Amino acid sequence: MKGRKLKTKILGIILAFFIAVVLSSIISTILHLIFTRVPEEIINIRPNTIIQSLSSSKEHFDMFVLTIVAFMLLAFLTVFKVFDLKDYKSKTYKVTNNIEIPIPIGEKQTQQGSAWWLPKKEFSKKFGVNRIDLSKKEFADLIKLAKEDKECIEEDKENTNMTKIEPIFKTGGLVIGKKDKIIPKFKCKKLGKLIRMPYFSFRKVEDIYYIDDDLHSLTVGATRSGKTRSLVLQTIVNTGLAGENMILSDPKGELFEYTSKTLERLGYKVYTLDFKTPLKSSKYNFLEPVIEAFSHKDIPKAVNYCSDIVESLVGEVGNREAIWVNGEKSVIKAGIMSVVLGNEKHKEYQNLPNTYHFISKMCAEQSDKTMLMDTYLDTLPDSHPAVSSFAAARIAPSKTRASFFTSALATLSIFMDDYVASMISESEIDLNKFNEERSVLYMILPDEKTTFYGLCSLFVNQVYTKLVELADSKGGRLKIRTNFILDEFRQF
């Protein structure tokens, strides 16, 4: 780039020199004839007369040199000033120690657009602001209780102090920054019965800026860039102090360890969907939406919920052939509908582990080359969801069907771990209560394997769908706002 600029300037100077020689010879000759008082000879100027005059007259030659100098000065100014090809440079804004970006200044430098970050002085106008003032009693009490809880955890004993703190903030949301402030307060000090001395006391507060609108936000950052510590944890506490409900994805269980006790102190009912340590988990039956829809005699909705579950378990076609994926889905869907609709009076059988057992028994080939599944479906009316769900697998050749059954059992095998089966065979988590009481749910996952990521995605989908239904039945808003704070959710 620099070489191209230099060549352009050199060519410009050479061209200017030749032009200056021609113009200077003509102009200096005209001036010389005027000063020697023979202006009538101007009309007789020819190249040979110019050369002859320059060689014979010192005054003419000096004038010629001065004219060239004047023209070359003008040429230099033109090349280096008017047609300067230097790179565009603007003022920069320091984002981090290693990153600086240009400040847009619009049309002055032919830039397109002038968008810029919101000035910090405008934050309080555009975003919600919650103030943390440690001089207030509720904050002091919460910190005191947190210290007690920490001591009890370290000493491995139970804290008998069950004091609860009411929510402090009106609303919560995604934390985007904070500002420390010094607040003065006017006071008077008594120096006697009649004398009082006025003075100011000062205290430090933190203004927490957060997004209080109903919207989605995606935060992207490199590993160990501080997303969890500087954003997720702050948002959980800010939302908890407002008493709003939360659904949290929690890889490794760190968020639960850091915040669950504080949220309990704020009156929250704390649930866990813990695939890392299932024995410590709250119980949740993933077929609950299907069971609930069936109990209300809404069969189409039950079928739709069942389809959502199967899609989440089996996944999309991707690089696989559609026949195998669709066949597997057909078998699992028929199994779920059979287990749910066929055990109306035995709720303990309406779960995914029992769906595995149902398919493994009913789809096994008998000695007479028949299947119990075919016999069972023949006893059901054609309108039964299990009949229509199994149709795609039923018409396939026997060898092809065997592949469908094998794939279905392989997909459902993750529920056959005794601990996991116990965790998902019944429900302690009632999604309807998320609109009635302060609740927080942690989805805890082992970070060393991805086996249960699909179930977490399914759970988020089920919760979201249920909350939308509750909001629609209540005029479009929930009684208690629910926030999904999904750390590392892209992995699911």
Counting every residue written for the chain, the total comes to 492
- The pLDDT, as a whole number, for residue 79 is 66
Q: What is the rounded CA–CA span in Å between residue 174 and residue 232?
A: 8
Q: What is the rounded CA–CA span in Å between residue 303 and residue 333?
A: 9
Cα angle 322, 327, 333 (rounded to 5 degrees) comes to: 125
Q: Which residues contact 56 (CB under 8 A, 6 or more apart)?
A: none
482: nearest Cα among 438, 429, 427, 430? 438
- The pLDDT, as a whole number, for residue 82 is 55
Token pair recorded at residue 123: 């934050």
Q: What is the rounded CA–CA span in Å between residue 239 and residue 245?
A: 8
Q: What is the rounded CA–CA span in Å between residue 451 and residue 445?
A: 9
Q: Which residues contact 72 (CB under 8 A, 6 or more apart)?
A: 16, 17, 20
Q: What is the rounded CA–CA span in Å between residue 408 and residue 331?
A: 7
- In DSSP notation, 341-403 reads HTTTT-GGG-SHHHHHHHHHHHTSB-TTS-BHHHHHHHTS-TTSHHHHHHHHHHTS-HHHHHH
Residue 179 has φ and ψ, to the nearest 5°, of -140, 125
Q: What is the rounded CA–CA span in Å between residue 470 and residue 478?
A: 7
Please state the pTM of the whole predicted model.
0.73
CB 208 within 8 A of CB 214: no
First to last CA, the chain: 47
- The pLDDT, as a whole number, for residue 319 is 72
Please give the chain's pLDDT, 492 residues, in tens.
556 667 777 787 788 778 878 888 888 888 877 877 777 777 777 888 778 887 888 887 888 888 888 877 887 777 666 555 455 566 787 777 788 877 766 555 555 556 677 777 888 888 999 999 988 899 989 999 889 888 888 888 888 888 888 989 999 999 998 889 888 877 777 776 667 777 777 889 999 999 988 888 888 888 888 888 889 999 999 999 999 999 999 888 899 999 999 999 999 999 999 988 888 999 999 999 999 999 999 999 999 999 999 988 887 766 778 888 889 999 999 999 999 998 988 999 999 999 999 999 988 878 777 788 888 988 999 899 999 999 888 888 888 888 999 999 999 998 888 888 999 999 999 888 888 899 999 999 887 777 888 888 889 899 999 999 999 988 889 899 999 999 888 776
Q: At what angle do helices 453-473 and 288-295 cross, to 10 degrees?
A: 30
- The pLDDT, as a whole number, for residue 329 is 92
Task: Measure CA 253 to chain center.
Answer: 20
At 407, is the secondary structure helix, strand, or coil?
helix
CB 122 within 8 A of CB 133: no
- Provide the pairing of β-strand 245-251 with 439-445: parallel
Residue type, 150: K
Q: What is the rounded CA–CA span in Å between residue 158 and residue 384?
A: 53
Q: What is the rounded CA–CA span in Å between residue 268 and residue 249?
A: 17
Task: Measure CA 362 to chain center.
Answer: 45
DSSP 8-state class, residue 164: -
